[in-house]
């Protein structure tokens, strides 16, 4: 009888052991979360830059075809935009026309949906095709260019 009690006792984990494992997991998760958040922001920003390049190409193609630059609606209607951008949002960023496009110019803004959470940098691109960024506030052609 005494042997069966000892065997039953050795079959499971004690509450203290489980609490220690949970505490260690909580500490590891807490340490990893800031790195994950930063990596996610940087990935969103890289996606926004890539999208700005794609929109610049789409604008130039639209101008060659129609003789003027187009709005996002024009670009979408002509099939120049990728399907994931037709709602003007992608990877935590929203895209908008900064000026009304015409036969001589266009300007596009990319703004994080939640500043500091989905991204830190705001982006701007215009007819010259140079992408500019600003930390925490809207970018323009006087902001820092991306190298």
Domain with residue 113: its CATH number is: 3.30.540
Domain that holds residue 30: 2-145
Both tokens of residue 19? Answer: 């609490």
- pLDDT, one tens digit per residue, over 17-74 is 999 999 999 888 888 777 788 899 999 999 999 999 999 999 999 999 999 999 988 9
In what helix (H) or strand (E) does residue 36 lie, and over which residues does it extend? Answer: helix 15-66
- Number of domains the chain contains: 1
Alpha carbon separation from 38 to 74, 84, 117, 124, 143 (Å, rounded): 35, 24, 9, 22, 22
> What is the DSSP secondary structure assignment for residue 130, as one 8-state letter?
-
Tell whether the model's pLDDT for residue 86 goes beyond 80: no
Which pLDDT score is estimated for 106? 95
Percentage above 70 pLDDT, the chain: 92
- State the Cα–Cα distance between residues 48 and 22, nearest whole angstrom: 38
Which structure tokens are listed for 34? 């800031």
For the entire predicted model, the pTM comes to 0.78
């Amino acid at each position: 009888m005494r042997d069966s009690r000892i065997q039953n006792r050795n079959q499971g984990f004690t509450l203290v052991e489980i609490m220690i494992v949970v505490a260690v997991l909580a500490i590891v998760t807490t340490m990893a979360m800031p790195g994950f958040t930063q990596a996610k922001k940087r990935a969103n920003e890289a996606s926004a830059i890539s999208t700005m390049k794609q929109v610049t190409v789409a604008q130039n193609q639209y101008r060659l075809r129609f003789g003027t630059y187009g709005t996002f609606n024009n670009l979408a209607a002509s099939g120049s935009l990728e399907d994931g951008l037709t709602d003007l949002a992608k990877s935590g960023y929203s895209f908008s026309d900064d000026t009304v496009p015409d036969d001589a110019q266009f300007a596009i803004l990319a703004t994080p949906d939640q500043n500091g959470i989905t991204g830190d940098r705001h982006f701007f691109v215009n007819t010259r095709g140079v992408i500019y960024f600003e930390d925490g506030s809207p970018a323009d052609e006087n902001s820092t260019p991306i190298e």
